Chain A
Amino acid sequence: MTTTNTGTGPGTATDTATGGAAGGSGAAGPAGAAGTGVADRPVADPLTELLVNRERPPRPGPVSAPATFGWRAMLKIKHVPEQLADVTVFPIIMTLMFTFLFGGALAGSTTEYLQYLLPGIMVMSVIMTTMYTGVSVNNDIEKGVFDRFRTLAVWRPSPMVGYLLGDAFRYTVASAVILTVGLILGFRPEGGPVGVLAGVGLLVVFCFAFSWIWTMFGLLLRSEKSVMGVSMMVLFPMTFLSNILVDPETMPGWLQGFVDVNPIAHLVAAVRDLMAGHVNTGEITWTLVAGGLIMAVFGTLTMRLYNRK
């Protein structure tokens, strides 16, 4: 076929000759291969070419690898946007539900209660969504993607940090949604935009640290269901037995004792004060130290499990 084309094509004798030669050698390759069954081996030749150059790029650094895993989390959100329901629909329901359920009874009016409740409900909703970190880790193990990650010569905690970076984005979305609902309902933070941003920032930082609890359980437990179950058992007491919904002063002494050491309560106090325009150094320090301890303990356990698995 190639030969025919060259032959009928315009051009001098020399042109035709070179064209024919080139076409001939071009045709000889595939035709020769066809004799040995080219139909069965469509992949062989281009693949060989890709396997010749065995040069490798340098290993990615400790910033680039976690960032790449974070990019993966973003891609997953792009492909499965429904997964954002837990940081959009769920917080809206929580905010509306608690505002109208307790508002009249506890503070006389919903608008008044909202000034107290909103920072707390923001913390509660976002803390609740942290458990999905554990679910994602567990899912990846089950699907086998994890084995692939573990054979990579990257900084070992990278995949975990990547999950948490992606989740930090989710926490920010959830905070923004709640803030918007709050503003519509009449939440008027005295700290202004700076105070609100500082509050959200502290919350996201704490959640990043807090989520290491879930990476550990994600690695430790065998199924998604058990991860959810354990998460609920930890999260319900930690969020409800706090200063989120009501002032702890009405609680019995032993319960106040728990609230005093509950890091979530300190986080809520710090966020509430920031949004109200006070920088409560004591509570902020408490929150950051608690976050640091959680990360140190559960981060270490996570990496130990990750390397052992």
Chain B
Amino acid sequence: MTDHHSPVIETSGLVKTFGDNRAVDGVDLSVPGGAVYGVLGPNGAGKTTTVKMLATLLRPDGGTARVFGHDVLREPEKVRRRVSMTGQYASLDEDLTGSENLTLLGRLLGYDKRAARERGDELLAAFGLEDAAGRQVKKYSGGMRRRVDIAASLLNIPDLLFLDEPTTGLDPRSRSQVWEIIRTIVATGTTVLLTTQYLEEADQLAGRIAVIDHGRVIAEGTPGELKSSVGAGAVHVRLRDPDRREAARQVLAVALAAEVQLDADPVALTARLSTTGDDRVAAERAASALGELARAGIVVDDFSLGRPSLDEVFLAITGHPADSRDGGATGDAPGTDSPAGRGTGGTTDSGTAHGGRTTERTSA
């Protein structure tokens, strides 16, 4: 289907400005075909703007972008013929039913009325939406909308599918449905460019990930490379007795083979696991550490193992958390070409202030 040797998307120095805001500030991407490529970043990082330029919805202000070798500015029609996009906000006509929406788009793709309807209804059925097909989209739940929206992108099977934050705001069940759909789509040979705020999502689906912040790619690599820059996660412990904290720290330092920090909370400690291994290793170590604490007679009120979050990735790579939007941060981001392995040293330094937040973020 796709030539696996030449990249499906190639951008160089891509720029888009809105007034004073350089939303995309020199993005270089090279997306190989036949897999999911994740673009990971916080709100406002420039993900949507980048995707819109690649899908020919926005004109770049600088740099070049080629999709299947076609320049998005010079040959937008050729690009449009091979791509589909499902935006962050379901791009459906809410007054129409799910079936009518797909029939409408099917006809606009060139199917005759009956074929368009058939294709749309088959897709709705495949997405478990046949019961809702005749209802107006405004009555759909968020997950249903998202699925119809993805179905709309598959009426003509694209060679490249842009999915802009397809699971943001979805409940866990709807999210796993969407993940399953994405896996199926990729398995049939379509390349997927997925933007997400969730490291876990990129990790689950993507073969490669670009981390983007302040309109720049700050790291690129496989999920494994990216995570190894962050460590395996962090163990958070809360003790009954603040006086035992020093003792607990020594126990944990040995059991986890990690540096342990004392949190601002007088009963809390955080150990950042530096192993690059898989999650099971981290879990086993955490379990044995809990045993060691019990053996030492230290009462633990709360114990959790947080997997690396987007925040931690950002801390590791940039030295500032993802949600910090104060100026100057862009300037000191390490070179845009740096692989994910960089900047690991920063993790422990800046980790203290941040340790407490990671658990809830990851499980969201």
- Taking Cβ atoms with an 8 Å cutoff, the residues of A that contact B are 40-44, 46-54, 56-60, 64-65, 68-69, 71-72, 75-76, 79-80, 140, 143-154, 158, 308-309
Q: Which residues of A contact B188 (CB under 8 A)?
A: 48, 51-52
Contact indicator A56/B126 (Cβ below 8 Å)? no
Instruction: Tell me the complex Cα distance, A302–B57, Å.
Output: 16
Q: Which residues of B contact A50 (CB under 8 A)?
A: 119, 122-123, 126, 154
Contact indicator B110/A58 (Cβ below 8 Å)? yes
Instruction: Tell me the complex Cα distance, A54–B189, Å.
Output: 10
Q: Choose one: A57, A71, A75, A146; the contact of B91 (CB below 8 Å).
A: A146
Are A148 and B152 CB-contacts (below 8 A) given A40-B180, A48-B187, A52-B188? yes
B101-119 near A? 1/0 per residue, CB < 8 Å = 0001101111110010001
Contact indicator A143/B94 (Cβ below 8 Å)? yes
Contact indicator B157/A54 (Cβ below 8 Å)? yes
Across the interface, name the chain A residue whose C-beta is closest to B55. A151
Instruction: Tell me the complex Cα distance, A228–B124, Å.
Output: 37
Across the interface, name the chain A residue whose C-beta is closest to B157. A54
Give the distance to chain B from A112, nearest Cβ to Cβ, in Å.
Answer: 44
Instruction: Tell me the complex Cα distance, A76–B92, Å.
Output: 13
Q: Which residues of A contact B204 (CB under 8 A)?
A: none
Instruction: Tell me the complex Cα distance, A9–B117, Å.
Output: 39
Contact indicator B93/A80 (Cβ below 8 Å)? no
Instruction: Tell me the complex Cα distance, A43–B190, Å.
Output: 17
Q: Which residues of A contact B83 (CB under 8 A)?
A: 151
Are A145 and B91 CB-contacts (below 8 A) given A51-B157, A151-B57? yes
Are A46 and B125 CB-contacts (below 8 A) given A41-B180, A72-B104? yes
Q: Choose one: A42, A145, A153; the contact of B93 (CB below 8 Å).
A: A145
Are A44 and B109 CB-contacts (below 8 A) given A75-B96, A147-B87, A151-B56? no
Contact indicator A75/B100 (Cβ below 8 Å)? yes
Instruction: Tell me the complex Cα distance, A154–B85, Å.
Output: 16
Give the distance to chain A from B170, nearest Cβ to Cβ, in Å.
Answer: 15
Q: Choose one: A64, A143, A148, A149; the contact of B107 (CB below 8 Å).
A: A64
Instruction: Tell me the complex Cα distance, A48–B177, Å.
Output: 14
Give the distance to chain B from A233, nearest Cβ to Cβ, in Å.
Answer: 26
9 CB < 8 A contacts A-B: A51-B154, A53-B157, A54-B1, A65-B108, A75-B95, A76-B95, A80-B95, A147-B57, A153-B80
Counting chain B CB atoms within 10 Å of each CB, the highest count among A54, A69, A146, A309 belongs to A54
Across the interface, name the chain B residue whose C-beta is closest to A47. B126
B173-196 near A? 1/0 per residue, CB < 8 Å = 000110011011101111000000
Q: Which residues of A contact B181 (CB under 8 A)?
A: 43-44, 47
Q: Which residues of A contact B154 (CB under 8 A)?
A: 50-51
Contact indicator B108/A68 (Cβ below 8 Å)? yes
Q: Quick check: is B127 within 8 A (CB to CB) of the other chain?
A: yes
Q: Which residues of A contact B152 (CB under 8 A)?
A: 148
10 further A-B pairs in the complex, CB-CB below 8 A; given A46-B126, A75-B95: A50-B126, A51-B188, A60-B107, A68-B104, A72-B96, A76-B93, A80-B95, A143-B94, A154-B108, A308-B59
Contact indicator A47/B89 (Cβ below 8 Å)? no
B61-86 near A? 1/0 per residue, CB < 8 Å = 00000000000000001001101110
Instruction: Tell me the complex Cα distance, A143–B185, Å.
Output: 26
Across the interface, name the chain B residue whose C-beta is closest to A61. B110
Q: Quick check: is B333 within 8 A (CB to CB) of the other chain?
A: no
Instruction: Tell me the complex Cα distance, A60–B105, Å.
Output: 11
Q: Quick check: is B258 within 8 A (CB to CB) of the other chain?
A: no
Across the interface, name the chain B residue whose C-beta is closest to A57. B110
Q: Which residues of A contact B136 (CB under 8 A)?
A: 79
The interface size of chain B toward A, counting residues with CB under 8 Å, comes to: 56
Contact indicator A43/B89 (Cβ below 8 Å)? no
Across the interface, name the chain A residue whose C-beta is closest to B178. A43
Contact indicator B126/A43 (Cβ below 8 Å)? yes
Give the distance to chain A from B173, nearest Cβ to Cβ, in Å.
Answer: 9
Q: Which residues of B contact A65 (CB under 8 A)?
A: 108
Instruction: Tell me the complex Cα distance, A133–B110, Å.
Output: 26
Contact indicator A150/B180 (Cβ below 8 Å)? no
Give the distance to chain A from B334, nearest Cβ to Cβ, in Å.
Answer: 34
Q: Quick check: is B90 within 8 A (CB to CB) of the other chain?
A: yes
Contact indicator A144/B89 (Cβ below 8 Å)? yes
Contact indicator A44/B110 (Cβ below 8 Å)? no
Q: Which residues of B contact A153 (CB under 8 A)?
A: 77, 80-81
Instruction: Tell me the complex Cα distance, A49–B126, Å.
Output: 9
Instruction: Tell me the complex Cα distance, A51–B153, Å.
Output: 11
Q: Choose one: B108, B126, B157, B184; the contact of A152 (CB below 8 Å).
A: B108
Q: Which residues of B contact A150 (CB under 8 A)?
A: 56-57
Contact indicator B57/A68 (Cβ below 8 Å)? no
Q: Which residues of B contact A57 (CB under 8 A)?
A: 109-112, 115, 156
Contact indicator B57/A43 (Cβ below 8 Å)? no
Q: Which residues of B contact A59 (CB under 8 A)?
A: 109-110
Q: Which residues of B contact A46 (CB under 8 A)?
A: 122, 125-126
Contact indicator B96/A79 (Cβ below 8 Å)? yes
Instruction: Tell me the complex Cα distance, A143–B92, Å.
Output: 8
Give the distance to chain A from B180, nearest Cβ to Cβ, in Å.
Answer: 5
Give the distance to chain A from B304, nearest Cβ to Cβ, in Å.
Answer: 26
Lowest 8 CB-CB distances: which A-B pairs, in order?
A57-B110, A148-B91, A144-B91, A46-B126, A51-B188, A47-B126, A144-B89, A68-B107
Q: Which residues of A contact B111 (CB under 8 A)?
A: 57
Q: Which residues of B contact A60 (CB under 8 A)?
A: 107-110
Q: Choose one: B77, B89, B91, B95; the contact of A79 (CB below 8 Å).
A: B95
Instruction: Tell me the complex Cα distance, A149–B84, Å.
Output: 11
Q: Which residues of A contact B187 (CB under 8 A)?
A: 48
Counting chain A CB atoms within 10 Å of each CB, the highest count among B104, B108, B156, B185 belongs to B108
Q: Which residues of B contact A53 (CB under 8 A)?
A: 157
Give the distance to chain A from B141, nearest Cβ to Cβ, in Å.
Answer: 16
Give the distance to chain B from A304, nearest Cβ to Cβ, in Å.
Answer: 12
Give the distance to chain B from A275, nearest Cβ to Cβ, in Å.
Answer: 36
Q: Quick check: is B128 within 8 A (CB to CB) of the other chain?
A: yes
Counting chain A CB atoms within 10 Å of each CB, the highest count among B57, B107, B176 belongs to B107
Q: Choose one: A51, A151, A308; the contact of B84 (CB below 8 Å).
A: A151
Contact indicator A44/B96 (Cβ below 8 Å)? no
